Amino acid sequence: MTYNLIRYGVKDASIAENRALVAKVFEALDQTKPQSVRYLVLELEDGEFVHLVGYDKDSSALTGLEAFKAFGADHAERRSTPLVRSSARIIGNYHMLANADEAVPA
């Protein structure tokens, strides 16, 4: 499974909208139940959002969702900071990510 960590700040006036759009993505995931996707979104106190995305082969089971397309449609206008994407590897997982890959020794 490939993992990416994505971070970005959101303008104060757009935080509620960003939250609502993220919630719709989770609703769509709950409806479609793709087995090839792992997805976690955190909102930090300072208005920064952190997404941890895991997928097998390709991310289209997530990015192809209409709700995800709506989330991304005006994303640049909602952001207060640039989007930063980093590849990630799970080193440990204790009851946070269901069915995550086994930890890989450093």
The mean pLDDT value for 34-53 works out to 94
- Please tell me the predicted confidence (pLDDT) of residue 102: 45
What's the pTM value of the predicted model, to 2 decimals?
A: 0.86
Q: Which residues pair with 39 in a beta bridge?
A: 53
Q: Are 101 and 90 in contact (CB under 8 A)?
A: yes
| pLDDT above 90: residue 93 | no
Q: Beta strand 2-9 with 84-88: parallel, antiparallel or unpaired?
A: antiparallel
